[in-house]
Structure 1
């Protein structure tokens, strides 16, 4: 989900002092994001993480492309923890040999809401463990992004309506962090 671009003039993004990788694994519903070329019309987007025995993070980014009943798209980058002291800085590899910076900028104490960001302040993803977010909570997340230099206008609310996607939602909720979402047969 992240893009590789330089950011020499930007101060480093703050991160949580420690991310418990086991608690971070599993499904995160993307409720706000800066669309990129491949996901500009995403609906019902989910980012799922699975910590493999080799320490790699098998990631599945899955969404309906263009509408709630549209074709399901799946991307499977592999993440690597870049800063083992905090576990909040990763590198994501979509295409070899390129790795994109992936920063866990914000993480709620209960591990129910997070913001993933790129240091260039052009790309961010607001995610939570449930597909719906209140207007007030969404506004709070936008303020957190603005506080570190993100332009509010770049962030779009991502539509969710799971009424016609119940089986997929059931599978996402049932696998937890036991296996990669890409292996669930969706």
Structure 2
């Protein structure tokens, strides 16, 4: 699966709200899902994934995988390690020029994440990004919107 030509890692770091995904078993029933990236001095990317389980006021879950840039030419292909020694395929396949919306895909086309810097995006943006996900070969009928509260409601 092709990636974007280049990613400025410093600009990519920070919080990304999961707008929709084909969820992994960990993400089923996730509300307010946020993936936060930081860049270590050694180039690794400690990640914090948080969400509420089952409802907006459900128990908060936190996972701390670590990202490893595999393609240092583009910075768009990573390995994401939840459990040692497995580094899952993680590809930045679409990234808005202003770093406001991203699609993360996998070669296996089993999971996908549509994320944004804000908890919600315009319907037109959502539809356009879903079309891109379909063009990457995903079955978009498996795509699930992740319930997100506005920042004021959290």
* Higher percent of residues as strand: 2
Partner of 2:91: 103
Contact 1:90–1:101, Cα closer than 8 Å, also in 2? yes
Matched with 1:54 is 42
Which is greater in Rg?
Answer: 1
Q: Which runs of 4+ in 1 moved over 4 A?
A: none
Structure 1 segments unaligned to the other structure (5+ residues): 1-12, 166-186
Cα RMSD (Å)? 0.9
Q: Please report how far the alpha carbon of residue 39 of structure 1 lies from its aligned counterpart in structure 2 after TM superposition.
A: 1.4
Inter-partner Cα distance in structure 1 for 2:98 and 2:40 = 23
Consecutive unaligned residues in structure 2, runs of 5 or more? none
Post-superposition shift, 1:131?
Answer: 0.3
* Cα distance between partner residues in 2 of 1:67 and 1:131: 16
Is contact 1:27-1:48 (8 Å) kept? yes
TM-score (norm. length: structure 2): 0.96
Offset, 1:129: 0.3
